[in-house]
Structure 1
Amino acid sequence: MELRSVEELMDLLSACRGSWHAPGSRGGRVDLHEHALRTAALLRRRRPADKELQVAGLVHAIGPLLCRGEESPVTASARAADAVRGLLGTRVARLVRAHHRTDHADDDLLRLRHADEECRHTGFDAGVLEDWRTVLELLASRNSRLGAVD
């Protein structure tokens, strides 16, 4: 599945609400919607200028919705990356794809992975999905102008 618009992505992110997933042995079950919002919010606090990193945190959790059945977290991440690449660009897709196989030499992947882990263990109000629409539209617009070349 390839997402073609911000509206399709917003719908998919909304569908994460109430979907529970156990994304790894270290974390318990998480609500994918809240997990996505919290991961993005943590990254926004830590790297306020890096919109692509923040959005990678927001969309990294859509993989389980794109996978039917019991697929590995690595497979779910690959499906999520493939779904968002055309809309949000190659950097966001690379971060989403690799966040379960974190390269310790890549600071951005480490930031995403740490935020992903931290928000499984902390609860806070991360706002609402609609707060992210403008950022998603900005990245989608910039990506369409660049041509989304891999």
Structure 2
Amino acid sequence: MELRGVEELMDLLRACRGAWDTPDRTGDPVDLHDHALQTAALLRRSHPADKELQVAGLVHDIGHLLRPGDDAGHADHAADVVRPLLGERVARLVQLHVPAKRYLAAVAPERGLSPQSALTLTLQGGTMSPAEAAAFAQDPLAEDAVTLRQADDAGKVVGLDAGVMEDWRTVLELVASRHSRLGAVD
């Protein structure tokens, strides 16, 4: 799938209403739509100037919609779809939200995961080894990916009002516009 613009991305995000991270709805307690809004809102609150990080939070799980049941590959699928429109940094943050979970499981095992995240951790490679964790920590985006992961883990609250998807159109347009101006530089 190739997104031809922000409107197509908005359609995809709206399609997350009533779609779940697991086809049988045994996963996280909120649908992908509410999870996206909650994750992005948490990032907006904690990092108000970092629009790319916020947008990564908004789109990080669309791979579950694109390829239902592919827990191991959902981040890569989402990254591939958003990269041409939103740029390399957003795509890499989306891609890194799974390795960030594996990293946190290694360096902060006491923090715990949601039941569904704990289940999918094994499918996604399990807890990182010390060598993998050290390599991940060297990635220039590691800190931001961990921030995204923490918002991802926290953005699963049933009934929490995190706004409406339309509120994010302007931010998506800003990030997409910035990426298109930079062109191949990204």
Q: TM-score, normalised by structure 1?
A: 0.89
> Who is 1:93 aligned against?
91
Q: TM-score, normalised by structure 2?
A: 0.72
> Who is 1:63 aligned against?
63
Q: Is structure 2 residue 44 aligned with structure 1 residue 44?
A: yes
Q: In 2 relative to 1, CA 135–87 (structure 1 residues): closer, same or farther, beyond 3 Å?
A: same
Deviation at 1:20, TM superposition (A): 1.6
> Who is 1:138 aligned against?
174
Q: Residues of 1 paired with 2:55 and 2:184: CA distance? A: 16
> Who is 2:80 aligned against?
82
SS at match of 1:21: coil
| Residue type at the aligned position of 1:143 | H
Kindly, what percent of the aligned residue pairs are identical? 65
Deviation at 1:70, TM superposition (A): 2.6
> Who is 2:21 aligned against?
21
C-alpha deviations, 1:34-92, integer Å up to 9, x for none? 0000000000000000000000000012111111x532x23111010000000000000
Which ranges of structure 2 fall in alignment gaps of 5 or more residues?
Answer: 105-136
> Who is 2:164 aligned against?
128
Q: Is structure 2 residue 183 aligned with structure 1 residue 147?
A: yes
Deviation at 1:30, TM superposition (A): 2.8
Q: Residues of 2 paired with 1:5 and 1:43: CA distance? A: 23
Higher-Rg structure is 2
Runs of 4+ in 1 over 4 A off after TM superposition: none
> Who is 1:108 aligned against?
144
Considering only aligned residues, what root-mean-square deviation do their CA atoms show, in Å?
1.8
Q: Single out whichever of 73-82 and 128-137 deviates more from structure 2.
A: 73-82
SS at match of 2:73: helix
Q: Is the 8 A contact 1:6 1:137 kept in 2?
A: yes
Q: In 2 relative to 1, CA 52–140 (structure 1 residues): closer, same or farther, beyond 3 Å?
A: same
Q: Is the 8 A contact 1:81 1:97 kept in 2?
A: yes
Count of paired positions: 145
Q: Is the 8 A contact 1:44 1:54 kept in 2?
A: yes
Q: Residues of 1 paired with 2:173 and 2:43: CA distance? A: 18
Deviation at 1:29, TM superposition (A): 3.8
